[in-house]
Structure 1
Amino acid sequence: MLPFSETWRTALWLCAGAAAFLFGERLAIRYGAGALARRWVGLPAGGLVALGCAARFGGVQAVLALIACALLYALGRVDAATMVLPDPLCALLGLLALPWVLAARLSGAAWGPLLFEHTVSAVTVSLPLALLRRVWPGCLGGGDVKFLAVAGLWLGWAVVPAFLLATLAAGAWSVAGVAAGRLRPGVQFAFGPFLCAAAVVALFGSEEFIGWFYGGML
């Protein structure tokens, strides 16, 4: 049986997670996504995400990670419904990257390498894709490119494997959709939900992502 203080701490995180889900859902509806038919399912899911944030990060970083997850949920929902990643939500996520990096500094990371990693990562994927859009219009949405710049500020070096994970997941989903007759070949679909889901995975497993993908190069 959990100690009394630990029980209250767990209950508070569960409530915070439910509130974060409702916050993300409200943002999603505001920017064009329809309300979920079974919204109550998201309340315990949000609580579990909050507990994961507390276990993985702790302190201020756990709170920031929970807010980021709420924003990523809203962004994914809106893009799935409207094919648009709203600039205000991306901007808010980008602004929260500053306290995220500051919290990492307070946990012992050196300023120089930390700033270099997160600033360079903001353009590592987004800049080549922005150039690709100039050569091949329509290959990727402008919102996706902006989102990847913001994701780089949050994820650091993990943004590259996160982008590859999103691409593989989207490719597998499209192949399965065509095979099942739900999608027509060549028809565009929202990439944002895959980017947001991959960003959440990378946020929780950034060290593992970096170690797996770069294999000791960093």
Structure 2
Amino acid sequence: MNIFVYFESNPEFFLFSVFLLSLLVGSFLNVVIYRIPIMLKREWKADCIGFLSDELDQKEFNPEQYAHHINEETFNLSVPRSRCPSCGHKITALENIPVLSWLFLKAKCSQCQSSISIRYPIIELSTALLSVLVAYYFGVQWYTLALLVLTWTLIALSMIDFDTQLLPDNITLPILWLGILLSVLGISSISLMTSVIGAIAGYLILWFVSQIFKLVTKKDGMGGGDLKLLALLGAWLGWQALPLILFLSAFVGAIVGISLIIFLGRDKNIPIPFGPYLASAGFISLLWGEQIKQFYFNLAGI
């Protein structure tokens, strides 16, 4: 029996399968969120060392000074194995079961008993729940699988930006192009023209905003990653979704930013990552964008 037919005739099993798969993906996202920024920084270090060695003569550049950077152990998404940051204990397969292992271990390392952050099961469970929401809303189709990939990407980008204020190109750009490719193949719900215009408009809108802000304040108010993230959302959701995404992200971002300054005394000069707000607004627009716009039009009597 075709798997799509089976899922359509057993929607509960379909949602349960998405839940289990997304729990595993959430566990992998924890790895991505932690390791991608470290991998990027190591790559930048290597590029800087290579540049210095090319530009400076031997008297000015001492390779031994940078040997510990050059000879660092292999570090990518699969190597080395995950380990406890306190004692170095390598995490076993039984200790790496999403959510359940954290509960079974009582949020402590099995060797040194140091605390394991609740953030890990929260990301795993949030990934699963948001994925089930997407699967329930869009049903059994190839486009749903693509939207699950988009959802997982937005979660990873949000957390990386929250931690490091980075939105890595090696995540953002491939997913942006995937959104356009889906339109080319006819899998997406929007046309190729709508997708391309959405990507272009998404980038240019925030580019103009950032340039105006820099002209007025003489400061950089937005990173290039934010521009590419909105371009990504435009490629997937179309240019028509951009006004709502911008409104929701700016509204929530302003509330959170003002709250941090007033209630927690955060320095207003410390930048606040905008990526999580863009990603959240994009996800809301994906599921309920039409309903929100219709509610507004009814409220305005249009």
Relative to the length of structure 2, the TM-score reads 0.61
Structure 2 CA distance for partners of 1:126 and 1:95, relative to 1, 3 Å: closer
Q: Which amino acid counterpart does residue 56 of structure 1 have in structure 2?
A: Y
Q: Percent identity?
A: 20
Alignment match, 1:28: 33
Q: Which amino acid counterpart does residue 197 of structure 1 have in structure 2?
A: S
| 8 A Cα contact 2:245 2:282, kept in partner | yes
Alignment match, 2:274: 191
Q: Please give the alpha-carbon distance, in whole angstroms, between the structure 1 residues aligned to 2:297 and 2:198.
A: 14
- Out of 131, 148, 171, the position equivalent to 2:254 is 171
What is the 5 A alignment of 1:10-21? 10-21=15-26
Report the secondary structure of 1:188's partner residue. coil
How far residue 76 of structure 1 moved from its aligned partner, in angstroms, is 0.6
Alignment match, 2:195: 118
Structure 2, gaps ≥5 residues long: 1-8, 39-84, 86-115, 215-219
Q: CA RMSD in A?
A: 2.8
Alignment match, 1:67: 149
Structure 1, gaps ≥5 residues long: none
What is the 5 A alignment of 1:70-81? 70-81=152-163
Q: Please give the alpha-carbon distance, in whole angstroms, between the structure 2 residues aligned to 1:25 and 1:213.
A: 37
Q: Please give the alpha-carbon distance, in whole angstroms, between the structure 2 residues aligned to 1:141 and 1:199.
A: 18
| 8 A Cα contact 2:22 2:124, kept in partner | yes
Report the secondary structure of 2:117's partner residue. coil
- Out of 227, 235, 239, the position equivalent to 1:145 is 227
| 8 A Cα contact 1:158 1:210, kept in partner | no
How far residue 83 of structure 1 moved from its aligned partner, in angstroms, is 1.0
How far residue 160 of structure 1 moved from its aligned partner, in angstroms, is 1.9
Alignment match, 2:127: 46
| 8 A Cα contact 2:180 2:192, kept in partner | no
- Out of 243, 252, 261, the position equivalent to 1:160 is 243
Q: Aligned pairs, how many?
A: 207
Q: Mark the structure with the bigger radius of gyration.
A: 2
Structure 2 CA distance for partners of 1:101 and 1:131, relative to 1, 3 Å: same
C-alpha deviations, 1:24-55, integer Å up to 9, x for none?
2222112238x981222333332222221211
* More helix per residue: 1
Report the secondary structure of 2:191's partner residue. helix
Q: Please give the alpha-carbon distance, in whole angstroms, between the structure 2 residues aligned to 1:213 and 1:76.
A: 27
How far residue 102 of structure 1 moved from its aligned partner, in angstroms, is 5.1
Alignment match, 1:207: 290
Q: Please give the alpha-carbon distance, in whole angstroms, between the structure 1 residues aligned to 2:128 and 2:154.
A: 16
Most deviating of 65-74 and 201-210:
201-210
C-alpha deviations, 1:64-98, integer Å up to 9, x for none?
11111111111011111111111111012213213
Relative to the length of structure 1, the TM-score reads 0.82
Structure 2 CA distance for partners of 1:153 and 1:106, relative to 1, 3 Å: closer
Alignment match, 2:70: none
| 8 A Cα contact 2:15 2:136, kept in partner | no
Structure 2 CA distance for partners of 1:135 and 1:158, relative to 1, 3 Å: closer
Q: Please give the alpha-carbon distance, in whole angstroms, between the structure 2 residues aligned to 1:95 and 1:140.
A: 22
| 8 A Cα contact 1:32 1:81, kept in partner | no
